[in-house]
Structure 1
Amino acid sequence: MPKPQQAFFEGHVHALSVLGGVPRGKVRYDNLKAAVAQVLGFSRQRTEPERWIAFRSHWGIESFYCRPGIEGAHEKGGVEGQIGYFRRNHFVPVPEVVATLAELNEMVDRWDLEDEGRRIRSRPRTIGEYFAVEQPQLKPLPVEPFETGRWFTPRVDRYGQITVRTNRYSVPVRLIGKTLRVLLHASELVVFDDGREVARHERLSTQGGSRLVLDHYLEALVRKPGAFPGATALEQARSAGRFTPVHDDWWDAARAAHGDKEGTKALIEVLLLARHMSHEHVVAGLAVALRAGALTADAVALEARKIADGDLPDQPMPSPPPEPAAAGPTRATVTFLADWRLSHLPPDTRPLPSVAAYDQLLRRRGGSAPSKGEAT
């Protein structure tokens, strides 16, 4: 099933779920390839793909197709007009503050909800009020879900990757040589091994691309740390913001203290901590350990657990002084527990220590040796 058809199906599932039911009358469609395999003359008869027939039969959708060309232009003007209104009001200019497609979809849902309070021209009710009247007329949603994704069974190659639709995706290296099941959706794919999810990736829209997760290769890299600096998965982790400048700084210090091999192995052990702790806690633990000069994975784990357990001061902690602007990635801002604790210690009123009492030992040692009688 091509990606446009998967997106077409998933859009239907989301829309019907939001509506809370299925329209009882005919649903009007343009002659898109996801639903129409062939237009039969100038009539409304269409040859539909088998997958689309199964999908709309499951949901109880009765399709109605517009006439092609100019003859059918007037049959979908209202829908295209509302789409144009939504585009002009929410996508002009194009949003640039989202990091993922899922985040953009959440914004669209929020805009759609806000649009329920809008009135169309001089109509007496809002869009939401009209829909509240119509919603009870919808048919109930089917009980059983319809799987919109497509299943594949690729084999994991020696690089710990599977190939789906000409693109390569990483899986844990322990699965090399195994045949896995992959469920491909329009925007993501999920990898299963014996019914257990072992990987999840955002689907690539290009051809011949690769999406690699650094965590999938850590068991192999800890045995061959020399391959770590040039790993493609490391570069992708940097680009995605998962491997931060704090990681790089701690890694540089660890290599300077322990050598390239042992310092890199220590960093990989730190990265393995993210399987049991949140990424944010590990990064904060790295920063604290770096400031204290603790360049071992155990020290990072200890500091990360302190932060995860809420071992933080009750009062607001001061922010560190801003670093000078420099080209390249922005460094993370971290508040260090050691600095806070030192600045909040009570004043020490004890007298300074004195060694005067020990001067008698020096005088005794510098004097004459005791006589035999004195010794007795």
Structure 2
Amino acid sequence: MTQPRSRVDLYAAIRRDARSGMSNRALQRKHGVGFRTVTAALESAWPKERKQPPKRGSRLDAYRVVIDDWLRSDLDAPRKQRHTAKRIFDRLLDEHDGAGVVSYWMVREYVATRRREIRVEVGREPANAFIPQEHLPGREAEVDFGDVAIRLRGELVTCALFSLRLSYSGKAVHRLSASAGQEAFFEGHVHAFNVLGGVPTGKIRYDNLKAAVASVIGFSRQRVEADRWTAVRSHYGIEAFYCQPGIQGAHEKGGVEGQIGWFRRNHLVPIPEVDSLAELNAMVDAWDEADDARRIGSRARTVGEHFATEQPLLAPLPTEPFETGRWFTPRVDRYAQVTVRMNKYSVPARMVGRQARVLLNASDLVVFDGRTEIARHERLMTKGSTRVDLDHYLEVLLRKPGALPGAKALEQARASGRFTPVHDAWWAAACKAHGDADGTRALIEVLMLHRHLPHDHVVAGLATALRAGALTADAVALEARKYNDTADGGADDTTADHQSLMSGDRARGAGEIPAVRSLTERRLRAHIPADTRPLPSVEKYDQLLASRRDTPNEGAAP
């Protein structure tokens, strides 16, 4: 016999069997219960509620009245002369023999709760209640930043997650950046408005971010805004509403606060591993699009369905774009580096001593010489760091080849994978054949090939030249161009051979030289049929030579 699913079902079964004429003892045996249960079921079809056990007492109960009297007396006392938890504990020990009975932590926990309850009881403070809000479509939004951890090229770093959430539909747009600075703040707005296709016509709620607020005026909601933020608001027609500082302000924009936590738990766990922030932001855009299918709380419609109603009510975007980056004009130092926000970035060595124009974005940095772009770097996340590009120093290293082995640019190139073990192997062979200085110069000339040829083609040319013992830059350039021709414009077997070569490189590990094959080896692998034609005969040439030996030379002496 299956057991009833609940106590109500048990009582119903007992009452049904009792009406059929079963005795009390038979009911007990059939249902596996005692006399009291059968009696209770026959008295009422609804089980009685279980009696709650008496509340466990506390050693502080004897002192609650005394503590409450002291807290009530504090209501009229000067603010700086009111009881603290420590003072209440000391008085209990001295005046009420509380030693060994109560502890400081018991007193502290009770006072922290009871002090506010007393103020509410006497009307000195309102009860902590929340008022339900109604949000009109297309009018309100909330903005905030949150910290997230990612693995960027194998290193655990902390990034800033920008979030703009529409209050009516719950549609949220996110953007990850290297920091929560003003550039990321502006770029997040521009990206969100482009995705939404418009701007909320009402207020957007913010906390007191340094990117937007220069200072807070007293205890009011008035703020002194940053000049560039005022320009952004004017460009897009944003009406800003600044929340109160602290936990009260967090409640005023609770939608975006909860949205950041939800997004972090559902999409960033486990910690994502990426090679660049651009790659991660592409993933974030896909996640945002997929989240349109979810329902928030007990809503009957999805986020995407609510947003379809809200989107036509947004204000249109301005026709002209807004430059979110910030311009700097630093001077290039003798190390061919510019300093931006306490970090150093390399530029071509020819710029030493000159002034450059730098556009600092949320996640990257672009350097210009006039209107020509001369360098681009991923933005550094920690102050006092340096990022250098080996290509910027090649002309100088041709004159100073001895500086290459210990160069910081070389170490960073190795760490990023641009300077491969194939480069190291060819360099070592060239130094052994030509000497350290000439071998290093040959390597630098090879590195200059990366400016004109794809990286994997140059690596393939290096490996082929190394196997053939060709330790000159011209030989590497020739083999790289051969590889370029066979990889891009060859027949089907050449394309298949190139694909198998690249897949083999990925399967082997970063520390091994890829099995790059020369053009001749590729042809041999193509299984070209052997030439079966007979060898040419040279008998006729032998007859000509014999007749030439029998004929005397003209003009010879008799």
Q: Structure 1 stretch 304-313 or stretch 6-15: which is displaced more? A: 304-313
The 8 Å contact of residues 221 and 228 in structure 1, kept in 2 or not, is answered as: yes
Q: Secondary structure at the match of 1:34?
A: coil
Shift of residue 41, structure 1, vs aligned partner? 4.2
Partner of 1:95: 272
Distance 1:278 1:36, change over 3 A: same
Please give the residue correspondences for 1:210-225 in structure 2 after superposition, counting only pairs within 5 Å: 210-225=386-401
Residue by residue over 1:29-54, the C-alpha shift from the partner in whole angstroms, topping out at 9 and shown as x without a partner, is 12222222333344332222222112
- The yes-or-no answer on 1:341 pairing with 2:523 is yes
**Partner deviation per Cα, 1:181-236 (whole Å, 9 max, x = no partner):** 11122222211112111111112222222111111111111122122112111111
Matched, 1:14 2:191: yes
Note if 1:35 corresponds to 2:212. Answer: yes
CA RMSD, 1 decimal: 2.8
| 1:71 partner SS | helix
Task: Indicate the SS of the match to 1:163.
Answer: strand
Q: 8 Å contact 2:236–2:318 — kept in the other structure? A: yes
After TM superposition, the structure 1 stretch with the greater mean CA deviation from structure 2, 253-262 or 235-244, is 253-262
Residues 27-106 of structure 1 mapped to structure 2, 5 A cutoff: 27-96=204-273, 98-106=274-282
Structure 1 partner of 2:137: none
1:135 to 291, 300, 311: 311
Where does 1:166-315 land on structure 2 (aligned, <5 Å)? 166-309=342-485, 310=488, 312=490, 314-315=492-493
Name the SS for the 2:355 alignment partner: coil
Percentage identity across aligned positions? 68
- TM-score, length-normalised on structure 2? 0.58
Q: Distance in 2 between matches of 1:297 and 1:22?
A: 57
Asked if the contact 1:245–1:332 (Cα under 8 Å) also holds between the matched residues in 2, the reply is: yes
Structure 2 letter corresponding to 1:314: D
How far apart, in 2, do the equivalents of 1:162 and 1:352 lie?
69
Whether the 8 Å CA contact 1:181–1:192 is kept in 2: the answer is yes
CA contact (8 A) 1:244 1:331 kept: no
Post-superposition offset of 1:350: 6.8
Specify the SS of the correspondent of 1:186. Answer: coil
Relative distance call for 1:177 and 1:112 in structure 2 (3 A) is same
CA contact (8 A) 1:320 1:334 kept: no
Distance 1:49 1:241, change over 3 A: same
Secondary structure of the structure 1 residue equivalent to 2:376: strand
CA contact (8 A) 1:59 1:141 kept: yes
More off after superposition, 25-34 vs 62-71: 62-71
SS at match of 1:37: strand
SS of residue in 2 equivalent to 1:139:
coil
Aligned equivalents of 1:187, 1:136: Cα separation in 2:
32
The answer as to whether partners of 1:192 and 1:199 remain within 8 angstroms in 2 is yes
Q: Deviations over 1:22-74 (max 9, x none)?
A: 11111111222222233334433222222211221111100112233343443
Partner of 1:24: 201
Asked if structure 2 preserves the Cα contact closer than 8 Å seen for 1:180 and 1:193, the reply is yes
Whether 1:330 aligns to 2:506 is: no
Find the aligned partners of 1:164 and 1:30 in 2 and give their Cα distance. 27
Paired residue type of 1:303? E
Q: Find out whether 1:125 has 2:125 as its counterpart.
A: no
Listed as ranges, the gaps of 5+ residues in structure 1 are 354-375
Question: 1:243-301 CA deviation, whole Å, 9 max, x = no partner?
Answer: 01111111112222222222211111111111111112211221222222222211221
Higher RCO (C-alpha under 8 Å, 6+ residues apart): 1
| Pair 1:51–1:320, CA change in 2 (3 A) | closer
Structure 2 residues without counterparts, runs of 5 or longer: 1-178, 537-557
- How many angstroms does 1:329 deviate by? 4.8
Alpha-carbon separation, structure 2, partners of 1:162 and 1:39? 34
Is the 1:150–1:183 Cα contact (8 Å) retained in structure 2? yes
Does the 8 Å contact 2:250/2:257 carry over to 1?
no
Distance in 1 of aligned mates of 2:330 and 2:461: 39
Aligned length: 352
Query: Is residue 183–residue 361 contact of structure 2 (8 Å, CA) maintained in 1?
Result: yes
Which range moves more in the overlay, 269-278 or 128-137? 128-137
Q: How far apart in 1 are the matches of 2:382 and 2:249?
A: 34
For each residue in 1:57-112, what CA deviation from the matched residue of structure 2 results, as whole angstroms up to 9, or x when unmatched?
1111001122333434432222222222111111122112x012222222111111
Distance change (3 Å), C-alpha of 1:215 and 1:127: same
